[in-house]
Amino acid sequence: MKAAIYIRVSTDEQAAEGFSIDAQKRRLLAYADSQDWEVSEVYIDDGWSAKDLKRPEMQRMLGDLENQLFDVVLVYKLDRMTRSASDCDNLIKMFEAHNVKFQSCTESFETRTATGRLFIRLVADIAQWERENTAERVRMGMEQMVHEGRRPGGPINFGYDKNEKIVQEEYTQIKLLRNFYMQGLGLKGVATKLNDMGLLRRGYRWTSFSVWYILDNPYYAGKLRYGTKKSNGKYASRKKEGVVDLTFADGSQELTFSWDEYQEHKEEMARRSFTGYSKVREYWFSGVLKCSKCGGKMTGRYHQNKRQDGSYNKIISYICSSRQTGKGCTMPMFRQELVESLLLEWIGERLSTDYSAIRELAATTEEDPMIDLRKDLKREIDKVRERRKKWQRMYADDLISQEELREHNADEKQNEEMLMAELEKMPTFNVEDLSEQNEMLFGLPEVWDQMDDVDKHEMILDIFKEITLYTPLDKAHGRKGQFIPASIESVVFN
């Protein structure tokens, strides 16, 4: 029987705690050998979440599945394959359709029997229910804190100390920030001005998002706000769907802005919002787009179509340089609005994954709420390893027999594996780990409509080195007035 080995590691923490690629591969190869299976291919997704099936090696494996290159898929644990009940069900159906079996080498279920298939579906459903139930409880708790006038955790806002008192040096920067904005500078311009003056935000340079966050946040005007911008599980931009499920209450913090000042600059922000192109016809994504078909760069192209009323519709698109120079690439052109939509959707999907849930969990305390629990689990693992050494010493001193040593070691090994499994489930996110790059990335949908074309292009270049576009079409366009089917295949950050 030919086996396909699938390996996934999403974080450095997993690698550090024994779930590294090498550790999984070693165990899986040994298991395949014990079953007398021939390993036809090893698929490794390094640094990918299991929130969906959009992983390079997962997609390659599914392609090989259709070509019947193996008879069984072997994984270390089910959650290496997927953490979604619907994806689990789809995978099982695909495996069944191609007469391919599924096997976990550390869990007692597989798809070779009807009972095994049922059990896998139940486990996946329970895991998904636990994640959603936890996130729901956290959201309810945070909303209740806001109703009571208490700040719902998270990092201390710039300008304040932990007792919600104003920090004078930071207060001065915030007042300058507002003055610069009200004098006519854009978000990017305000950030550049502050950075040029040598004014840092707790050691970090100011960005368009951090300027926007100060101006948009009612906390500085004495209010507490908690809510979500998700609708039907999708990220909802302010421009398209508005902010939903927001909770406001009076807070106990000292005021940086009066409510009238806050309303004044919020009205100015709304007035400056860009719902289309500014006078400068800037290519927002030039220098970062890459063709998935040939690997070539995609360059900006400007053209216009004549409307029935005689006016012209001005269009910016991106074309693969290999196609433009006649080198045979079949990649269609991508309109700028399509790339914009794909990027904001891609960021929204990242925000709606486990990472977003972890951020919500982390925001319930001044520090990562999981730190203490992780430390407890690590301490218990250390105790188990120390006991194993003790049993070895007792055997060496003839205090226990070899059979007793084997029994104790088997028990301790089982305890260690259970603790390691629990540790691997723990989120590894720490509130203080949000880098400036992450801040810009996850804040981009918020500030996007507040920036002109030049600022948008500069922000894209600040965050991304490459954005690879994918479409199944070849030199073809979708229906008139519709975008072609497309997605972002991969991203490389600066």
Q: Could you read off the pLDDT tens digit of each residue along the chain, which spans 494 residues? A: 999 999 988 754 454 444 678 888 888 998 999 889 999 999 998 877 777 788 889 999 999 998 899 999 999 888 788 877 678 878 888 888 899 988 888 876 666 667 666 777 676 666 566 656 665 665 666 666 666 666 665 568 899 998 889 999 999 999 999 999 999 888 888 999 999 999 988 888 898 888 988 998 888 998 887 654 443 333 333 333 443 455 567 778 899 999 999 999 998 888 876 544 444 457 899 999 999 999 999 999 888 777 778 777 778 899 999 998 888 899 999 999 999 999 988 887 776 554 444 444 344 333 444 455 566 667 778 788 888 888 877 877 778 888 888 888 888 887 777 777 766 655 444 444 444 556 677 778 878 877 777 778 888 888 899 999 998 887 655 455 577 888 898 888 87
Write down the pLDDT at residue 48. Answer: 79
Q: Residue 104: which of 80, 121, 88, 84 has the closest Cα?
A: 80
What single-letter DSSP state applies at residue 257? Answer: S
Whether residue 463 lies inside any domain: the answer is: yes
* Residue 446 is assigned to a structural domain of this protein: yes
Q: Do 262 and 153 share a structural domain? A: yes
In this structure, are residues 477 and 308 in contact, taking their beta carbons and an 8 Å threshold? no
Q: Dihedral (C-alpha) 413, 415, 420, 423: value to the nearest 10 degrees?
A: -170
| Pair 460, 414 in one domain | no
Task: Identify whether residues 346 and 255 lie together within a single domain.
Answer: no
Exposure string of 457-483, with b = 16+ CB inside 10 Å and e = fewer, is bbbbebbbeebbbebeeeeeeeeeeeb
What CATH code is carried by the domain that includes residue 218? 3.90.1750.20
The reply to whether 139 falls in a domain is no
Orientation angle between helical segments 402-425 and 371-396, nearest 10 degrees: 170
The set of residues, in sequence order, having a beta carbon less than 8 Å from that of 412 and lying 6+ positions away, is 384, 387, 388, 391
Co-location of 261 and 303 in the same domain: no
Helices (H), 55-186: 56-66, 78-81, 85-97, 114-147, 168-182
Residue 306 β-bridge partners: 312
CATH number assigned to the domain comprising residue 77: 3.40.50.1390
The residues pairing with 235 across neighbouring beta strands, listed in sequence order, are 230
When divided into structural domains, the chain yields a total of 4
Single residue among 95, 130, 165 that ends a domain in this structure: 130
Rounded to whole angstroms, how far apart are CA atoms 370 and 325?
54
**316 beta partners:** 302
Sign, CA dihedral 53-58-59-64, equals negative
Query: Which are the catalytic amino acids?
Result: 10
Residues with Cβ within 8 Å of 185's Cβ and at least 6 positions away in sequence, in order, are 193
What lies within 8 Å, CB to CB, of 381 at 6+ separation is: 416, 419, 420, 423
Q: Is there a single domain that holds both residue 259 and residue 195? A: yes
Residue 77 shares a structural domain with residue 106: yes
Q: Domain limits at 185?
A: 148-272
Number of Cβ within 10 Å of residue 189's Cβ equals 16
User: Is there a domain that residue 363 lies in?
Assistant: no
User: 19 and 95: one domain?
Assistant: yes
343 and 388 inside one domain = no
Choosing from 247, 272, 297, the residue where a domain stops is 272
Angstrom CA distances, 337 to 95, 284, 317, 379, stand at 38, 10, 8, 52
Q: Is 282 domain-assigned?
A: no
Check if the beta carbon of residue 190 is closer than 8 Å to that of residue 180: yes
- Angle among Cα 381, 105, 389 to the nearest 5 degrees reads 30
For residue 452, the model assigns a pLDDT of 75
Query: Is residue 277 in some structural domain?
Result: no
Q: Which helix (H) or strand (E) is 249 found in, with range?
A: strand 244-250
* Chain centroid to CA 393: 47
The answer on 112 and 18 residing in a single domain is yes
Residues 81 and 112 in one domain: yes
Residues 312, 439, single domain; the answer is: yes
Whether the Cβ atoms of residue 368 and residue 430 lie closer than 8 Å to each other = yes
> Could you say which of 408, 426, 444 is where a domain stops?
426
Instruction: Mark whether 338 and 443 lie in a shared domain.
Output: yes
